[in-house]
Amino acid sequence: MTDEAPRIAVVDDDPAQRALLENALTRAGYACVLCDDGREALDAVGDCDLMLLDVRMPGMGGMEVLKRVCEMRPALPVILLTAYIDVRDAVAAIKQGAADYLEKPIDLDELIAVIEDTLGVGANRGSDPPMALPEDIVAESEAMRQVFRQAAQAAPTDATVLLLGESGTGKEVVARFIHQTSARAAKALIPVDCASLPESLVESELFGHEKGAFTGATEARDGRFSSADGGTLFLDEVGELPLSVQPKLLRILETGTYRRVGGDEERRVDVRVIAATNRNLEEEVRTGRFREDLFFRINVFPIAIPPLRERADDILPLAERFLQPFRKRLAPAAQRLLLDYDWPGNIRELRNAMERAAIVAAGGLVLPADLPEAARRAKPRAKPQGVLVGDMQEIQRRAILEALEKTGGNKTRAAAMLGISRRNLIYKLRSFGL
Protein backbone atom coordinates (compact mmCIF):
# COMPACT_ATOMS: atom_id res chain seq x y z
CA MET A 1 0.00 0.00 0.00
CA THR A 2 1.15 3.56 -0.71
CA ASP A 3 0.83 6.79 1.25
CA GLU A 4 -2.27 7.59 -0.77
CA ALA A 5 -5.76 6.75 0.48
CA PRO A 6 -6.29 2.97 0.48
CA ARG A 7 -8.33 1.83 -2.51
CA ILE A 8 -11.30 -0.44 -1.82
CA ALA A 9 -13.08 -2.47 -4.48
CA VAL A 10 -16.84 -2.51 -3.85
CA VAL A 11 -18.35 -5.53 -5.61
CA ASP A 12 -22.16 -5.63 -5.61
CA ASP A 13 -24.74 -6.05 -8.38
CA ASP A 14 -27.12 -3.59 -6.66
CA PRO A 15 -26.26 0.00 -7.80
CA ALA A 16 -27.95 1.55 -4.76
CA GLN A 17 -25.89 -0.62 -2.41
CA ARG A 18 -22.71 0.29 -4.29
CA ALA A 19 -23.52 4.00 -4.02
CA LEU A 20 -24.30 3.67 -0.31
CA LEU A 21 -20.99 1.96 0.41
CA GLU A 22 -19.07 4.37 -1.82
CA ASN A 23 -20.49 7.34 0.06
CA ALA A 24 -19.61 5.88 3.48
CA LEU A 25 -16.11 4.89 2.40
CA THR A 26 -15.40 8.24 0.76
CA ARG A 27 -16.51 10.09 3.90
CA ALA A 28 -14.13 7.87 5.88
CA GLY A 29 -11.19 8.82 3.66
CA TYR A 30 -10.96 5.85 1.29
CA ALA A 31 -10.90 5.69 -2.51
CA CYS A 32 -13.31 3.32 -4.25
CA VAL A 33 -13.26 1.04 -7.28
CA LEU A 34 -16.86 0.10 -8.14
CA CYS A 35 -17.62 -3.32 -9.67
CA ASP A 36 -21.09 -4.60 -10.55
CA ASP A 37 -20.23 -8.26 -11.16
CA GLY A 38 -17.63 -10.93 -10.50
CA ARG A 39 -15.65 -10.40 -13.70
CA GLU A 40 -15.16 -6.70 -12.98
CA ALA A 41 -14.02 -7.72 -9.49
CA LEU A 42 -11.30 -9.94 -10.95
CA ASP A 43 -10.18 -7.08 -13.20
CA ALA A 44 -9.84 -4.85 -10.10
CA VAL A 45 -7.71 -7.30 -8.08
CA GLY A 46 -4.46 -5.52 -8.93
CA ASP A 47 -5.91 -2.04 -8.38
CA CYS A 48 -7.14 -2.21 -4.78
CA ASP A 49 -5.93 -2.70 -1.22
CA LEU A 50 -9.09 -4.45 0.03
CA MET A 51 -12.25 -5.91 -1.53
CA LEU A 52 -15.82 -5.77 -0.25
CA LEU A 53 -17.55 -8.68 -1.96
CA ASP A 54 -21.27 -9.45 -2.13
CA VAL A 55 -21.90 -13.19 -1.82
CA ARG A 56 -25.04 -13.50 -3.94
CA MET A 57 -24.64 -12.08 -7.44
CA PRO A 58 -25.92 -13.28 -10.83
CA GLY A 59 -23.36 -15.04 -12.98
CA MET A 60 -20.17 -15.55 -11.00
CA GLY A 61 -21.14 -15.68 -7.32
CA GLY A 62 -19.12 -14.24 -4.47
CA MET A 63 -17.65 -17.55 -3.26
CA GLU A 64 -16.29 -18.28 -6.76
CA VAL A 65 -14.86 -14.77 -6.97
CA LEU A 66 -13.24 -15.24 -3.55
CA LYS A 67 -11.60 -18.47 -4.71
CA ARG A 68 -10.16 -16.82 -7.82
CA VAL A 69 -9.01 -13.70 -5.98
CA CYS A 70 -7.13 -15.87 -3.48
CA GLU A 71 -5.40 -17.65 -6.38
CA MET A 72 -4.52 -14.38 -8.16
CA ARG A 73 -3.49 -12.33 -5.12
CA PRO A 74 -3.47 -14.33 -1.86
CA ALA A 75 -2.53 -11.34 0.32
CA LEU A 76 -5.51 -9.19 -0.76
CA PRO A 77 -8.00 -8.90 2.15
CA VAL A 78 -11.57 -9.77 1.13
CA ILE A 79 -14.56 -8.96 3.33
CA LEU A 80 -17.76 -10.78 2.38
CA LEU A 81 -21.15 -9.06 2.55
CA THR A 82 -24.27 -11.21 2.73
CA ALA A 83 -27.94 -10.90 3.61
CA TYR A 84 -28.22 -14.66 4.08
CA ILE A 85 -25.67 -15.35 6.78
CA ASP A 86 -25.00 -18.97 7.68
CA VAL A 87 -22.44 -20.09 10.25
CA ARG A 88 -21.20 -22.95 8.07
CA ASP A 89 -20.85 -20.67 5.04
CA ALA A 90 -19.02 -18.09 7.14
CA VAL A 91 -16.58 -20.69 8.48
CA ALA A 92 -16.02 -22.02 4.94
CA ALA A 93 -15.41 -18.48 3.66
CA ILE A 94 -12.84 -17.75 6.35
CA LYS A 95 -11.08 -21.06 5.64
CA GLN A 96 -11.12 -20.20 1.93
CA GLY A 97 -9.33 -16.93 2.58
CA ALA A 98 -11.89 -14.26 3.49
CA ALA A 99 -10.63 -11.77 6.06
CA ASP A 100 -14.08 -11.24 7.59
CA TYR A 101 -17.79 -11.27 6.80
CA LEU A 102 -20.60 -8.83 7.59
CA GLU A 103 -24.34 -9.28 7.49
CA LYS A 104 -26.59 -7.07 5.39
CA PRO A 105 -28.04 -4.53 5.98
CA ILE A 106 -24.55 -3.24 6.68
CA ASP A 107 -23.84 -1.26 9.85
CA LEU A 108 -21.61 1.39 8.27
CA ASP A 109 -19.78 2.21 11.50
CA GLU A 110 -18.99 -1.47 11.95
CA LEU A 111 -17.90 -1.74 8.31
CA ILE A 112 -15.39 1.13 8.67
CA ALA A 113 -14.06 -0.37 11.91
CA VAL A 114 -13.62 -3.79 10.25
CA ILE A 115 -11.76 -2.19 7.33
CA GLU A 116 -9.49 -0.28 9.70
CA ASP A 117 -8.80 -3.45 11.70
CA THR A 118 -8.08 -5.39 8.50
CA LEU A 119 -5.82 -2.79 6.90
CA GLY A 120 -4.23 -1.72 10.17
CA VAL A 121 -4.90 1.93 9.41
CA GLY A 122 -7.02 4.69 10.84
CA ALA A 123 -8.82 6.60 8.12
CA ASN A 124 -9.59 10.23 8.76
CA ARG A 125 -12.41 9.51 11.14
CA GLY A 126 -11.69 11.09 14.50
CA SER A 127 -14.71 12.19 16.48
CA ASP A 128 -17.94 12.94 14.70
CA PRO A 129 -18.33 16.64 13.88
CA PRO A 130 -21.34 18.39 15.42
CA MET A 131 -24.50 17.83 13.39
CA ALA A 132 -25.77 20.94 11.64
CA LEU A 133 -29.50 20.27 11.64
CA PRO A 134 -32.31 22.46 10.27
CA GLU A 135 -33.89 24.78 12.83
CA ASP A 136 -37.18 22.90 12.75
CA ILE A 137 -35.56 19.66 13.95
CA VAL A 138 -35.07 18.93 17.66
CA ALA A 139 -32.41 16.32 18.40
CA GLU A 140 -30.81 16.99 21.77
CA SER A 141 -30.43 13.31 22.71
CA GLU A 142 -27.42 11.34 21.50
CA ALA A 143 -29.81 8.64 20.25
CA MET A 144 -31.53 11.06 17.85
CA ARG A 145 -28.25 12.64 16.77
CA GLN A 146 -27.14 9.16 15.79
CA VAL A 147 -30.36 8.76 13.78
CA PHE A 148 -29.61 11.95 11.84
CA ARG A 149 -25.97 10.96 11.36
CA GLN A 150 -27.19 7.77 9.72
CA ALA A 151 -29.73 9.72 7.68
CA ALA A 152 -26.95 12.06 6.50
CA GLN A 153 -24.94 9.03 5.37
CA ALA A 154 -27.85 7.71 3.30
CA ALA A 155 -29.02 11.05 1.88
CA PRO A 156 -26.44 11.56 -0.93
CA THR A 157 -27.20 8.11 -2.36
CA ASP A 158 -30.30 6.68 -4.00
CA ALA A 159 -30.40 3.73 -1.59
CA THR A 160 -33.82 2.71 -0.33
CA VAL A 161 -34.15 3.65 3.34
CA LEU A 162 -36.39 1.81 5.81
CA LEU A 163 -37.37 3.84 8.90
CA LEU A 164 -38.33 1.66 11.85
CA GLY A 165 -40.13 2.90 14.95
CA GLU A 166 -43.35 3.26 16.87
CA SER A 167 -46.12 5.48 15.59
CA GLY A 168 -45.48 9.14 16.29
CA THR A 169 -41.69 8.94 16.73
CA GLY A 170 -40.95 11.33 13.86
CA LYS A 171 -40.31 9.02 10.91
CA GLU A 172 -41.64 11.57 8.41
CA VAL A 173 -39.33 14.24 9.87
CA VAL A 174 -36.35 11.96 9.20
CA ALA A 175 -37.66 11.19 5.70
CA ARG A 176 -37.93 14.91 4.91
CA PHE A 177 -34.39 15.49 6.22
CA ILE A 178 -33.05 12.76 3.91
CA HIS A 179 -34.90 14.23 0.92
CA GLN A 180 -33.93 17.83 1.64
CA THR A 181 -30.23 16.96 2.01
CA SER A 182 -30.16 14.79 -1.12
CA ALA A 183 -29.56 15.65 -4.77
CA ARG A 184 -33.34 15.33 -5.26
CA ALA A 185 -34.20 18.23 -2.95
CA ALA A 186 -35.36 20.45 -5.84
CA LYS A 187 -37.99 17.86 -6.79
CA ALA A 188 -41.05 16.74 -4.85
CA LEU A 189 -41.26 14.59 -1.73
CA ILE A 190 -44.57 12.73 -2.04
CA PRO A 191 -45.82 11.14 1.20
CA VAL A 192 -48.21 8.17 1.01
CA ASP A 193 -49.96 6.80 4.09
CA CYS A 194 -50.37 3.17 3.05
CA ALA A 195 -52.57 2.43 6.08
CA SER A 196 -55.22 4.96 5.00
CA LEU A 197 -55.61 3.74 1.40
CA PRO A 198 -58.60 1.45 0.69
CA GLU A 199 -57.31 -1.92 -0.49
CA SER A 200 -59.28 -1.68 -3.71
CA LEU A 201 -57.59 1.62 -4.63
CA VAL A 202 -54.00 1.08 -3.47
CA GLU A 203 -52.68 0.03 -6.89
CA SER A 204 -54.40 2.93 -8.63
CA GLU A 205 -53.14 5.43 -6.06
CA LEU A 206 -49.56 4.28 -6.44
CA PHE A 207 -49.35 3.60 -10.16
CA GLY A 208 -52.33 5.45 -11.69
CA HIS A 209 -55.03 4.07 -13.98
CA GLU A 210 -56.37 4.34 -17.51
CA LYS A 211 -59.83 5.65 -18.39
CA GLY A 212 -62.42 2.89 -17.92
CA ALA A 213 -60.02 0.64 -15.96
CA PHE A 214 -62.70 0.16 -13.29
CA THR A 215 -66.08 1.55 -12.30
CA GLY A 216 -65.70 5.26 -11.64
CA ALA A 217 -62.50 5.65 -13.67
CA THR A 218 -63.96 8.30 -15.95
CA GLU A 219 -60.55 9.62 -17.00
CA ALA A 220 -56.90 8.55 -16.97
CA ARG A 221 -54.97 9.51 -13.85
CA ASP A 222 -51.33 9.53 -12.77
CA GLY A 223 -50.30 7.80 -9.57
CA ARG A 224 -48.00 8.82 -6.72
CA PHE A 225 -44.92 7.30 -8.38
CA SER A 226 -45.45 9.51 -11.41
CA SER A 227 -45.91 12.58 -9.19
CA ALA A 228 -42.62 11.79 -7.44
CA ASP A 229 -40.61 11.36 -10.67
CA GLY A 230 -37.15 12.81 -10.11
CA GLY A 231 -37.86 13.13 -6.39
CA THR A 232 -38.67 10.95 -3.40
CA LEU A 233 -41.68 8.82 -2.50
CA PHE A 234 -42.26 8.30 1.23
CA LEU A 235 -44.25 5.11 1.83
CA ASP A 236 -45.43 5.43 5.42
CA GLU A 237 -46.66 2.21 7.08
CA VAL A 238 -45.42 0.13 4.15
CA GLY A 239 -46.24 -3.02 6.15
CA GLU A 240 -49.94 -2.32 5.52
CA LEU A 241 -49.67 -2.81 1.75
CA PRO A 242 -51.83 -5.71 0.49
CA LEU A 243 -49.96 -8.78 -0.73
CA SER A 244 -51.50 -8.30 -4.17
CA VAL A 245 -49.69 -4.97 -4.63
CA GLN A 246 -46.32 -5.97 -3.18
CA PRO A 247 -45.01 -7.67 -6.39
CA LYS A 248 -45.73 -4.48 -8.36
CA LEU A 249 -43.86 -2.40 -5.78
CA LEU A 250 -40.93 -4.83 -5.95
CA ARG A 251 -40.88 -4.54 -9.77
CA ILE A 252 -40.74 -0.76 -9.83
CA LEU A 253 -38.02 -0.75 -7.17
CA GLU A 254 -35.91 -3.17 -9.19
CA THR A 255 -36.55 -1.93 -12.73
CA GLY A 256 -37.99 1.57 -12.42
CA THR A 257 -40.89 0.49 -14.67
CA TYR A 258 -44.61 0.02 -14.06
CA ARG A 259 -48.00 -0.07 -15.79
CA ARG A 260 -51.09 1.87 -14.92
CA VAL A 261 -54.13 -0.13 -13.85
CA GLY A 262 -55.86 -1.19 -17.05
CA GLY A 263 -52.92 -0.17 -19.23
CA ASP A 264 -50.41 -2.04 -21.39
CA GLU A 265 -47.81 0.70 -21.83
CA GLU A 266 -44.55 0.30 -19.90
CA ARG A 267 -43.78 3.55 -18.08
CA ARG A 268 -40.47 4.51 -16.48
CA VAL A 269 -39.80 6.74 -13.48
CA ASP A 270 -36.76 7.84 -11.50
CA VAL A 271 -37.90 7.75 -7.89
CA ARG A 272 -36.03 7.30 -4.61
CA VAL A 273 -38.15 5.38 -2.07
CA ILE A 274 -38.08 5.89 1.69
CA ALA A 275 -40.33 3.42 3.51
CA ALA A 276 -41.44 3.43 7.13
CA THR A 277 -43.21 0.98 9.41
CA ASN A 278 -44.13 0.44 13.03
CA ARG A 279 -44.43 -3.30 12.40
CA ASN A 280 -41.81 -6.02 12.76
CA LEU A 281 -41.45 -6.81 9.06
CA GLU A 282 -39.32 -9.88 9.72
CA GLU A 283 -42.21 -11.33 11.70
CA GLU A 284 -44.61 -10.28 8.93
CA VAL A 285 -42.42 -12.21 6.47
CA ARG A 286 -42.47 -15.32 8.70
CA THR A 287 -46.27 -15.22 8.90
CA GLY A 288 -46.65 -14.72 5.14
CA ARG A 289 -48.11 -11.21 5.34
CA PHE A 290 -45.12 -9.55 3.68
CA ARG A 291 -42.99 -10.78 0.80
CA GLU A 292 -39.44 -11.75 1.73
CA ASP A 293 -37.97 -10.48 -1.54
CA LEU A 294 -39.65 -7.10 -1.05
CA PHE A 295 -38.40 -6.92 2.54
CA PHE A 296 -34.80 -7.45 1.43
CA ARG A 297 -35.28 -4.83 -1.31
CA ILE A 298 -36.52 -2.07 1.03
CA ASN A 299 -34.22 -3.03 3.90
CA VAL A 300 -31.08 -1.70 2.18
CA PHE A 301 -30.45 1.00 4.80
CA PRO A 302 -32.58 0.58 7.94
CA ILE A 303 -32.68 3.36 10.54
CA ALA A 304 -34.28 2.62 13.92
CA ILE A 305 -35.93 5.65 15.54
CA PRO A 306 -36.21 5.23 19.33
CA PRO A 307 -39.46 6.03 21.15
CA LEU A 308 -39.65 9.28 23.09
CA ARG A 309 -39.44 7.50 26.45
CA GLU A 310 -35.92 6.36 25.50
CA ARG A 311 -34.70 9.85 24.58
CA ALA A 312 -35.65 11.94 27.59
CA ASP A 313 -33.26 14.73 26.56
CA ASP A 314 -35.65 15.55 23.69
CA ILE A 315 -38.86 15.82 25.75
CA LEU A 316 -38.51 19.33 27.17
CA PRO A 317 -36.97 20.94 24.05
CA LEU A 318 -39.81 19.49 21.98
CA ALA A 319 -42.42 20.64 24.50
CA GLU A 320 -41.00 24.17 24.52
CA ARG A 321 -40.94 24.18 20.70
CA PHE A 322 -44.64 23.22 20.59
CA LEU A 323 -45.48 26.00 23.09
CA GLN A 324 -43.60 28.75 21.21
CA PRO A 325 -46.49 29.78 18.92
CA PHE A 326 -48.61 30.32 22.04
CA ARG A 327 -45.87 32.33 23.82
CA LYS A 328 -46.06 30.14 26.87
CA ARG A 329 -43.51 28.17 28.86
CA LEU A 330 -43.45 25.27 31.28
CA ALA A 331 -43.39 25.60 35.05
CA PRO A 332 -40.67 23.46 36.71
CA ALA A 333 -43.28 21.18 38.30
CA ALA A 334 -44.86 20.61 34.87
CA GLN A 335 -41.44 19.84 33.41
CA ARG A 336 -40.90 17.11 36.01
CA LEU A 337 -44.22 15.50 35.10
CA LEU A 338 -43.39 15.54 31.41
CA LEU A 339 -40.09 13.79 32.12
CA ASP A 340 -41.77 11.16 34.32
CA TYR A 341 -44.48 10.29 31.79
CA ASP A 342 -43.82 7.45 29.30
CA TRP A 343 -45.48 9.11 26.24
CA PRO A 344 -46.88 5.96 24.58
CA GLY A 345 -48.06 8.14 21.68
CA ASN A 346 -44.56 9.62 21.37
CA ILE A 347 -44.04 13.06 19.77
CA ARG A 348 -47.55 13.20 18.36
CA GLU A 349 -49.01 12.79 21.87
CA LEU A 350 -46.60 15.39 23.29
CA ARG A 351 -47.57 17.93 20.62
CA ASN A 352 -51.28 17.44 21.29
CA ALA A 353 -50.69 17.70 25.05
CA MET A 354 -48.82 20.98 24.68
CA GLU A 355 -51.45 22.50 22.39
CA ARG A 356 -54.16 21.56 24.88
CA ALA A 357 -52.11 22.91 27.82
CA ALA A 358 -51.53 26.20 25.99
CA ILE A 359 -55.27 26.60 25.46
CA VAL A 360 -56.31 25.88 29.07
CA ALA A 361 -53.41 27.69 30.81
CA ALA A 362 -54.67 30.94 32.33
CA GLY A 363 -51.39 32.84 32.13
CA GLY A 364 -48.05 32.61 30.39
CA LEU A 365 -46.95 29.63 32.46
CA VAL A 366 -48.15 26.03 31.90
CA LEU A 367 -48.80 24.45 35.31
CA PRO A 368 -49.27 20.77 36.21
CA ALA A 369 -53.04 21.31 36.34
CA ASP A 370 -52.97 22.35 32.67
CA LEU A 371 -51.53 19.01 31.53
CA PRO A 372 -53.65 16.04 30.40
CA GLU A 373 -54.68 13.68 33.19
CA ALA A 374 -52.36 10.89 32.07
CA ALA A 375 -49.34 13.20 32.41
CA ARG A 376 -50.57 14.62 35.75
CA ARG A 377 -50.74 11.09 37.16
CA ALA A 378 -47.22 10.18 36.02
CA LYS A 379 -45.15 8.66 38.80
CA PRO A 380 -41.44 9.36 39.21
CA ARG A 381 -39.43 6.92 37.17
CA ALA A 382 -38.18 4.04 39.28
CA LYS A 383 -34.45 3.72 39.59
CA PRO A 384 -33.01 0.37 38.47
CA GLN A 385 -32.86 -2.10 41.32
CA GLY A 386 -29.58 -3.67 42.36
CA VAL A 387 -28.31 -6.78 40.65
CA LEU A 388 -27.15 -9.89 42.52
CA VAL A 389 -23.39 -10.16 42.37
CA GLY A 390 -23.60 -13.70 41.02
CA ASP A 391 -25.98 -12.85 38.18
CA MET A 392 -23.21 -12.21 35.65
CA GLN A 393 -25.43 -12.45 32.57
CA GLU A 394 -27.72 -9.72 33.87
CA ILE A 395 -24.72 -7.57 34.82
CA GLN A 396 -23.31 -7.97 31.29
CA ARG A 397 -26.68 -7.28 29.71
CA ARG A 398 -27.16 -4.03 31.63
CA ALA A 399 -23.59 -2.92 30.97
CA ILE A 400 -24.12 -3.46 27.24
CA LEU A 401 -27.42 -1.56 27.24
CA GLU A 402 -25.83 1.34 29.14
CA ALA A 403 -22.89 1.48 26.73
CA LEU A 404 -25.20 1.44 23.71
CA GLU A 405 -27.32 4.20 25.22
CA LYS A 406 -24.27 6.38 25.89
CA THR A 407 -22.99 5.89 22.34
CA GLY A 408 -26.34 6.38 20.65
CA GLY A 409 -26.42 2.76 19.46
CA ASN A 410 -22.92 2.83 17.92
CA LYS A 411 -21.71 -0.76 18.39
CA THR A 412 -18.07 0.01 17.61
CA ARG A 413 -17.79 2.69 20.30
CA ALA A 414 -19.86 0.66 22.76
CA ALA A 415 -17.47 -2.27 22.35
CA ALA A 416 -14.48 0.03 22.96
CA MET A 417 -16.18 1.43 26.07
CA LEU A 418 -16.77 -2.11 27.38
CA GLY A 419 -13.25 -3.24 26.54
CA ILE A 420 -14.36 -6.08 24.27
CA SER A 421 -14.14 -6.71 20.54
CA ARG A 422 -16.87 -5.53 18.21
CA ARG A 423 -17.62 -9.11 17.14
CA ASN A 424 -17.84 -10.22 20.78
CA LEU A 425 -20.35 -7.44 21.42
CA ILE A 426 -22.46 -8.50 18.44
CA TYR A 427 -22.38 -12.12 19.66
CA LYS A 428 -23.54 -11.05 23.13
CA LEU A 429 -26.31 -8.86 21.66
CA ARG A 430 -27.63 -11.86 19.76
CA SER A 431 -27.30 -14.22 22.71
CA PHE A 432 -29.28 -11.77 24.91
CA GLY A 433 -31.92 -11.33 22.20
CA LEU A 434 -31.02 -7.64 21.80
DSSP 164-186: E--TTS-HHHHHHHHHHTSTTTT
CA-wise closest residue to 305 among 353, 338, 347:
347
| Predicted pLDDT at 262 | 84
Dump pLDDT digits (tens) for 281-316: 999 999 999 999 999 999 999 999 999 999 989 999
The fold of 392-431 is Arc Repressor Mutant, subunit A (1.10.10)
- Alpha carbon 173 to its chain centroid, in Å, reads 13
pLDDT in tens, 60-101: 999 999 999 999 999 899 998 987 655 556 666 777 788 888
Helices (H), 28-170: 38-43, 62-72, 87-96, 108-119, 142-154
Q: Report which of 154, 408, 411 is spatially closest to residue 302, judged by C-alpha positions.
A: 154
Domains 7-119 and 309-376 share a fold: no
Architecture of domain 7-119: 3-Layer(aba) Sandwich (3.40)
pLDDT given at position 395: 66
What pLDDT, on a 0 to 100 scale, did the predictor assign at position 423? 63
pLDDT score recorded for residue 321? 94
CB of 261 closer than 8 Å to CB of 304: no
Q: Which CATH class is domain 142-304?
A: alpha beta
CA distance 163 to 177: 12
Whether the bond into 105 is cis, omega within 30 of 0: yes
Stretches in the chain below the pLDDT threshold 50: 1-2, 123-128, 384, 386-390
Enter the DSSP assignment of 209: B
- CATH topology for 309-376 is Helicase, Ruva Protein; domain 3 (1.10.8)
The pLDDT value given to residue 381: 66
Residue ranges of the domains in the chain?
7-119, 142-304, 309-376, 392-431
Cβ partners under 8 Å of residue 174, min gap 6: 147, 148, 151, 163, 303, 305
